[in-house]
Amino acid sequence: MYFILWVIAIILVGNLLWRLASKRFSLPCPVWLHRMVEMDNPFTRTNRASEIIMLLDIQPGMSVLDAGCGPGRLTLPLARAVGESGRVAALDIQEGMLERVKKKLIVEGLENVDLIKGGLGDGILPSDSFDRALLVTVLGEIPEKRSAVDEIFRALKPGGILSVTEVIFDPHFLRASTVEKIAEEAGFIKGSSFGNKLAYTYHFLRSGKIS
């Protein structure tokens, strides 16, 4: 019994320290823990890849940004959804994660994904290029959140949609009110919301007509 309590205490303290450290440094999920983020969370529907993509109404021919793609849990189904006429940009700061995605793409024969090494806020994304952008349990890992969302705003086409998903199980979890404030300060207009306070997806619209 005491052993279990000690384990729980260690996990809680580790979670807290990770949260505090991530306010100053970029602390993404380490590559060696890739298996933990390659599968959908069984406890919440909101975080399922199929649900996130369905809510965004991804169509063949679209250009989609998977920001903080990790090992490609969203990247591959997005690539299948946009088809051969569409493109997916998979962005991550860890070379190891991008290598995981590359291997999976080769196995599935998908050739419509561009792998980009870098961080949001670095100014490496092309302007007015994407119909959709996804931040799935990623924004909390970024110290300069406003700069990151600013870059996504510029990278989206007018009328494009930013989808932000947060789940309480993630050590970098952000409250919906925090995400909404950051997005609106960057110029986004709040759109649809799904889920609840502990597991949600919010859509934010880049103002302007779809070109």
What are the sequence ranges of the domains in the chain? Answer: 26-206
Q: Which of 67-81, 152-166, 197-211 has the lowest mean pLDDT?
A: 197-211
CB 147 within 8 A of CB 170: no
Residue 73: its pLDDT value, please?
Answer: 95
Residue 207: its pLDDT value, please?
Answer: 84
CB 84 within 8 A of CB 108: no
CATH 1.10.3720.10 fits 26-206, yes or no: no
List pLDDT tens digits, range 145-163: 999 999 999 999 999 999 9
CB 211 within 8 A of CB 156: no
Residue 47: its pLDDT value, please?
Answer: 81
Separation between Cα atoms, residue 179 and residue 163, nearest integer Å = 11
Please give the structure tokens belonging to residue 138.
Answer: 């990623």
Q: pLDDT band at 42, cuts 50/70/90?
A: low
Measured CA angle at 96 (ends 93, 100), to 5 deg: 115
Question: For the whole model, what pTM was predicted?
Answer: 0.81
Q: What is the mean pLDDT of the chain?
A: 85
Q: Which of 13-17, 63-67, 195-199 has the lowest mean pLDDT?
A: 13-17
Tell me the residue type at 58: I
Burial of 189 (0-12, 13-18, 19+ CB in 10 A): exposed
Please give the structure tokens belonging to residue 149.
Answer: 């969302």
Report long-range pairs for 6-12 (Cβ below 8 Å, ≥24 apart).
Answer: none
